[in-house]
Chain A
């Protein structure tokens, strides 16, 4: 028998018995960040490709949600901070080795861009909108003129945001479950998939819905591939990671992960979207909402599961 005890009664809140320093705030923040990134990515992509009018939900309508999403996301991040009055310290330095730092800075760039993007389309929402001041009007003209350049910036920054939401976790070597390079692409894909799902819900035209259903289906395929790849990687790795992977392969997180994330969040919507493509009448809201749900759950389970995994010594 082996007996390993902490005999000094250690019970640091949120550290013992199982690390729980990050509660719901961080996974929600990551989900919303990924979602915003996904929407902005597609908006930028189809604007650059000159298909603004063909895909209005993607390029114009969905981005209206982004500032709200980002503000809620930042709100969640803010709630997570325990020393809130010192929040501004995030912006007194840039630390490239800290994903938290460049995440904060990326949001610093993405958020205003998303506002500008909405402003450029504001007349869709309020046809009688007037910018009142001359300099505002000039500014609008300026951005309209360089919209393509703006789109490129948006494409780049939203990709960074998307990747960041994945890398935030995988930067933490200390948590064996997060210690995999697959988490970055997986979260990026999940963010794009969620973005596509929102566009599907908002799209009025069948063509646009169809396109994003196809895109979503493809991304889900990639996600499933990445997930399988991730666990195969763990299985072939150290004892620590084996133990970590076990959380999802027999351990406490197995059922929620495979049921909520994989089956409900990926496989079922994939089937429904496939049927949709095959011209069956499916209420699009269903697969799209399932994708959003799955994407959210993925963040939560990886966040909690990761914190439950640790080095053994």
Chain B
């Protein structure tokens, strides 16, 4: 069988071409006439920024032409996150600014929730409306019944406002839906989470082990760049993935694992490394706690045992374990990032952390370095009021080890129960499309139905904006200041984001929204600056810089306080764990009643005729935030469902045919999705890219394009340790015709 690019594009024109024909060419950077000329950087102005298209926060420059129009964005070469090179989404960030579907003015709902019928309102009116709503909740239920969901830079200001108001219910989906289990597992092991950007020393590694983590499609810039450096230097890459990922195609070893069995593989590797004495003896002896228990624990986890579970051959398990050991300590068993897969994720990540400890890679060149950031003093403000209750009170005794709030937990805490005296009554949702971000969409909708106030701050009309009582249009990151970026890296840096243009339409930055809302809530003492520039300049002056300097250079490199990027030879290191050691045997987990060492437990498998739904990233999109971006939809305007040829044959499916997916609970995808028959996926699974299948008609390019994985994720496998929402325990089957749908009554 053969699919040629001709065939491929031939079919896809039927749809894409259709779109191209109905919507005339967008001259996205000029009004009407095409601007023929190439850019002349010498005639352009540039403004520093850091990218908001994902959370790697690359620093760069926004270029404007002589007329002041934004033309392009490029990396800042002094920035360690980008090294002067943006990823496609960052480069295509201009499309966020030029997207003509943007939210343009505040909206107040007139129709039913979710109905997207709004009237336009002035900022005054909208903010007054919100302040009244918040005060009502404060009076009737207490300020701690307000919650903030935020994913993005502006959240800092809104969070400050909410804490001043008296609530600490502030969560990002990047924890319980993303990297939470990893943070908890590494904290339990090393007394320190992994953090973002991950301090993986990929550029100097000799062996990179990727478990799922699909770098190259997961376009987190620094890692992609460093993986390429590693390839140049001849590093061995080992990729464990049921799908032939881009990274797998660059790997010396691709282990096409059966999904949901990674812990078995990790334990078998641990077994080999311990019993064949491949571990870093000095390191293990000096720094770790519980080696003997671990040795005993993995005794029976042999490669032969794992073979039956993972379908990875024992000799491959041994060979790859040896590759890691040979590279040790310049080896990285990558902790991944989106790790909320099967509900036992903290334990899986514990196995990853343990493996790294045995290989001695934590704190070593080519392994994990010790990152350093800068702590900027906070702008003077009164102390926050004491908080009486939080979302955690809804889950007594649970998720104690979660060090950040759970977005899913806050959502659940919104649904009233008999034994809860106050459920959350008001949400402010900033820069997160909760409807497609949290699994179990129905649950999210139930929570929303119990709200008294839902405020959504976004740049685009999204699924979530449809449910809002008030929608506030934030201007894009190219049109605003934000807090300084201070994230940790090999050396500390500060990066500035400043506007390259006035906000388009009637949109406003979050710092302004938070301050205005604060004023209306009587919290003006917390916002004692007239303009954000005042705050930034004050902060910068505290560390010997100034806004003026930063406007010129964009990124300021600072020196490390100590030369402790890696452990010194024989250095005594005190780890922030109960034992002060790297805990192979976790006393913390044991204390909370969990297995101190990871075990393998089998997960349910798809029934006959069903296939495990796995999902991931496409390099040119970030979840749903880019789904309508004109520049990026030009590269990819829908997702496809990857199906193994054997499966396709059984189902008589053809390439590029549109089908509907139905999950184990009978949920059928709203939109059809195009079939991609490919050998790159196992026969027991199907794969799709997350972020498509938008139901909001106001997204002219994204509406109805592709299908949403989120709506098919109705089975959530909760991580008992920290409340992460495992999302890969869902199975789908294929419908070749649109099913008759029951009227949804609301």
Contact = CB atoms under 8 A, between A and B. Distances in A.
Q: Do chains A and B touch in the complex (CB under 8 A)?
A: yes
Contacts of A271: none
Given A1-B645, A11-B16, A6 B9 contact: yes
B350 to A, nearest CB: 36
A67 to B, nearest CB: 38
Contacts of A97: none
Contacts of A250: none
Interface residues of A, number: 16
A9 B629 CA distance: 14
Given A3-B679, A9-B634, A9-B635, A17 B2 contact: no
A2 B677 CA distance: 11
Contacts of B10: 17-18
Nearest to A9: B635
Interface in B632-691: 634-637, 645, 677-680
B307 to A, nearest CB: 26
A11 B17 contact: yes
A127 interface: no
A212 B620 CA distance: 65
A134 interface: no
B5 interface: yes
A278 interface: no
Interface in A2-37: 2-11, 13, 16-18
Given A3-B678, A8-B635, A9-B634, A17 B9 contact: yes
Nearest to B16: A11
A11 B5 contact: no
A1 B620 CA distance: 26
B8 interface: yes
Nearest to A11: B16
Interface string B19-40: 0100000000000000000000
B679 A17 contact: no
A10 B13 CA distance: 10
A177 to B, nearest CB: 15
A11 B678 contact: no
Nearest to A6: B5
A13 B18 CA distance: 11
A18 B13 CA distance: 10
B8 A6 contact: yes
A186 B358 CA distance: 77
B3 A17 contact: no
B12 interface: yes
B383 interface: no
Given A1-B645, A4-B5, A5-B3, A16 B13 contact: yes
A66 B628 CA distance: 55
B9 A11 contact: yes
Contact of A9 (B2, B16, B679): B16
Interface in B179-212: none
B8 A4 contact: yes
B42 interface: no
Contacts of B1: 1-2
Contacts of A11: 9, 12-13, 16-17, 20
Given A8-B635, A11-B17, A3 B9 contact: no
Contacts of A6: 5, 8-9
A13 B12 CA distance: 13
Contact of A3 (B3, B6, B11): B3
Contact of A10 (B9, B637, B645, B679): B9
A20 to B, nearest CB: 11
Interface string A107-118: 000000000000
A249 B634 CA distance: 36
A9 B3 contact: no
Contacts of A10: 9
B4 interface: yes
A4 B4 contact: yes
Contacts of A4: 2-5, 8
B489 to A, nearest CB: 30
A17 B636 contact: no
A310 B6 CA distance: 10
A2 B12 contact: no
B656 to A, nearest CB: 11
A18 B6 contact: yes
A21 to B, nearest CB: 15
A16 B1 CA distance: 22
Contacts of A1: 1-3, 645, 677-679
A216 to B, nearest CB: 39
A5 B8 contact: yes
A219 B729 CA distance: 72
Nearest to B8: A5
Contacts of B636: 7, 9
A242 to B, nearest CB: 15
A17 to B, nearest CB: 4
Given A11-B16, A11-B20, A5 B6 contact: no
Counting chain B CB atoms within 10 Å of each CB, the highest count among A1, A3, A5 belongs to: A3
Contacts of A2: 1-3
A252 to B, nearest CB: 11
Interface string A246-265: 00000000000000000000
Contacts of A9: 16, 634-637
Nearest to B20: A11
A17 B635 contact: no
A17 B11 CA distance: 8
Contacts of A16: 9, 13
A277 B654 CA distance: 55
Contacts of A8: 620, 635
A3 B244 CA distance: 13
A11 B14 CA distance: 11
Interface string A286-313: 0000000000000000000000001000
A18 B14 CA distance: 12
B510 to A, nearest CB: 32
A9 B636 CA distance: 6
A4 B655 CA distance: 13
A18 B4 CA distance: 12
A312 to B, nearest CB: 8
A4 B679 CA distance: 12
Contacts of A18: 6, 10
Contacts of B637: 9
A302 B737 CA distance: 39
B197 to A, nearest CB: 26
B3 to A, nearest CB: 5
Given A5-B5, A6-B9, A9-B637, 10 more contacts: A1-B3, A1-B645, A1-B677, A3-B678, A3-B679, A9-B634, A11-B20, A16-B9, A17-B6, A17-B12
Interface of A: 1-11, 13, 16-18, 310
17 contacts: A1-B2, A1-B645, A1-B678, A3-B678, A4-B2, A7-B636, A8-B635, A9-B634, A9-B637, A10-B9, A11-B12, A17-B6, A17-B8, A17-B9, A17-B10, A17-B11, A17-B13
Which 6 A-B residue pairs are closest in the complex by CB-CB distance? A17-B9, A17-B10, A9-B635, A1-B1, A3-B3, A4-B5
